[in-house]
Structure 1
Amino acid sequence: MDLPKGWELSYGVIMTRTAAVNGITVSYDDYGAGPAFVLVHGHPFNRSMWWPQISALTAEGYRVIAADLRGYGESTVVPGLTTLETFARDTFALIDHLELDEVVLGGLSMGGQIVMECYRLFAERIAGLVLADTFPQGETPAGHAHRNRVADQLLAGGMTGYADENLPKMMAAYNVTAMPRVAEHVHDMMIRTSPAGAAAALRGRAERPDYQKLLTTVAVPTLIVVGRDDEFTPVADAELMNRLVPGSMLAVIDGAGHLPNLEQPAAFNAALHTFLDQ
């Protein structure tokens, strides 16, 4: 399965909107009408990773907002260290800019951890959660060292080597060959990312808290999604979150790795439909 019809409207063709929030300029897409659904991308990607979901959710009657995080895509690059709290506050600053009172909030990988941080800070404004290919545990000493080491490497050598090495882990390796357009897009997102922005996010993510206790307090409908062959956040991580979040739904997407929303968009969107229709 290759990219769905309508992909031609993706990154570089979609008309970009911008907002000045928290001292930076955020680039974002805003489509549809109805209840607001905000999507948060992962590392080292940009908002274009969500196009198959924007198309599906607007057809379901949602207004869908997908922004480039600071340091990514077309948003302002801020070197140094960017915490998950900073990303969360940027996300809700944009939501405030758009004058939205309540949103359904979804994120993948780092984006899922940003969503967890948003719930810690803004739970009263969140009507539902989608946590895709992510995990709630705090950083380990080894992980802390690794993320800072990779940040140093990105600053010294750029994104191309990192993208080449990680493409068959971001997607299931068998899909890199089977889905050349998807693979090209995933690789392109990675090499387009600012090394300084990616490094700042890695350093901030190395400082992240543990969200397991927070997840036990979630009081809104929650969908947990994971690719069956995800190497970064395996099914066991999703099953843990499913146990922690009261009443949550779990969808395991066959034929996908870390990016099931791009590798198997029809199955991912079907899980969203079932969740939103309950």
Structure 2
Amino acid sequence: MTLHHVEIGDGTPVLLLHGYTIDHRLMLPLESVFAARPGWRRLYVDLPGSGQSPRLSGPVTADAMGEAVLGFIDTAIGDEPFAVVGISYGGQLARHVVAERGAQVLGTALLAPLVKPSGARDLPERQVLTRDEALLASLDPADRDIFTAIAVHQDEAGWEAFRDHVLPGIRAHHRSDAAALLKAYMLSKTPEDVFGAHHGRHLLVTGRQDHMVGWRDQLELLEHYPRMTYATVDGAGHNVHLDQPALVDGLLGGWLDAITRD
């Protein structure tokens, strides 16, 4: 299937995969890191049923999502070496890409990746680090409920980032497909069970206050990625790159530079 995407730049392809019930706009704050480093062709993709991409024609499952991503890779990238950035649900799909196209994959950057199903996760206690009551009172109640359910920084800066990069995708995704996906949310095969170890350059960044996927379960991935850098960022929830942009940008830039050196 043809997935809607935004393409920027020329050079080595890098595929950017967003999370559940949002779209490629969540990933656009990372663009400044790439813009400062010529030689990367960025492919910001809307997953099936999200943003402007079509819905899946069959059952909505994690495996079907993974196949759609692989089909996009075959069409848009072909047999070129490439890198992958995945956040949250996109992090699970990025690992699936390693399992299925590992010889082509230069490395992955996994931001708050989904690792375990709901109910099996080791999650920190829910925390709100900053809260502006006047701001929250001024918001549309529906927007406020979504924002406060996720954000650890419930202030002006946190709201602006959420409004511009998260909320548009939430409004655009297909609701019934999202509900169907929840019933088959995890891949039928754990990617690391397929490939064992991948020796590309990898980066894993989690938020210390991420109450949605946590940061402890992701430690298990390190055994499968011998060249992986792991960082747990304080002052960050699930949208770690929005909560601590300077730290995440620095880590992502270092990862890109390491791939370039290799």
- Residue 243 of structure 1 deviates from its aligned partner by 4.1
Query: Partner residue of 2:61?
Result: 83
- Residue 80 of structure 1 deviates from its aligned partner by 6.5
- Choose which of 26, 32, 49 in structure 2 pairs with 1:49: 26
Q: Distance in 2 between matches of 1:235 and 1:115?
A: 18
Letter in 2 for 1:132: L
Structure 1, gaps ≥5 residues long: 1-20, 144-159
- Choose which of 97, 115, 129 in structure 2 pairs with 1:136: 115
Letter in 1 for 2:66: A
TM-score (norm 2): 0.79
The structure 1 segments of at least 4 consecutive aligned residues displaced by more than 4 Å after TM superposition are: 160-166
Are 2:209 and 2:234, in contact at CA under 8 Å, matched by a contact in 1?
yes
- Choose which of 211, 215, 229 in structure 1 pairs with 2:209: 229
Question: What aligned pairs does 1:13-32 form with structure 2 within 5 A after superposition?
Answer: 21=1, 25-32=2-9
CA root-mean-square deviation: 2.6
Structure 2, gaps ≥5 residues long: 121-139
Q: 1:206 to 1:162 in 2, by over 3 A?
A: farther
**2:227 pairs with 1:250:** no
- Choose which of 191, 205, 208 in structure 1 pairs with 2:185: 205
- Residue 251 of structure 1 deviates from its aligned partner by 2.1
Are 2:208 and 2:235, in contact at CA under 8 Å, matched by a contact in 1?
yes
Q: Distance in 2 between matches of 1:176 and 1:214?
A: 43
Q: Distance in 1 between matches of 2:159 and 2:180?
A: 30
Q: Distance in 2 between matches of 1:245 and 1:171?
A: 30
Query: Partner residue of 1:69?
Result: 47
**64-73 or 79-88: which moved more?**
79-88
TM-score (norm 1): 0.75
Query: Partner residue of 2:14?
Result: 37
Are 1:228 and 1:253, in contact at CA under 8 Å, matched by a contact in 2?
yes
Q: Distance in 2 between matches of 1:215 and 1:178?
A: 41
Are 2:63 and 2:187, in contact at CA under 8 Å, matched by a contact in 1?
no
Letter in 2 for 1:30: E
Q: Distance in 2 between matches of 1:215 and 1:224?
A: 18
Q: 1:60 to 1:180 in 2, by over 3 A?
A: same
